[in-house]
Amino acid sequence: MLKRDELNVDAHNNVGILYHDKGLYEDAAREFRRVLAINPSYVTARLNLSAVYLKLGRPDAAAAEARAVLATDPRHSDALVNLALAQDAAGQGPEAQLTLRRALEIAPHSAAAHYNLAQMYERTGELALAAEHYRQFLQFAGPAQAGYIADVRARLQAATRGTK
Q: What is the pLDDT of residues 8-50, one digit of tens each?
A: 899 999 999 999 999 999 999 999 999 999 999 999 999 999 9
Question: Amino acid identity of 5?
Answer: D
**pLDDT tens digits, one per residue of 94-139:** 999 999 999 999 999 999 999 999 999 999 999 999 999 999 999 9
pTM to 2 decimal places:
0.91
Q: What are the angstrom distances between the C-alpha of 81 and each of 22, 37, 97, 121, 160?
A: 23, 24, 10, 15, 25
**pLDDT tens digits, one per residue of 41-96:** 999 999 999 999 999 999 999 999 999 999 999 999 999 999 999 999 999 999 99
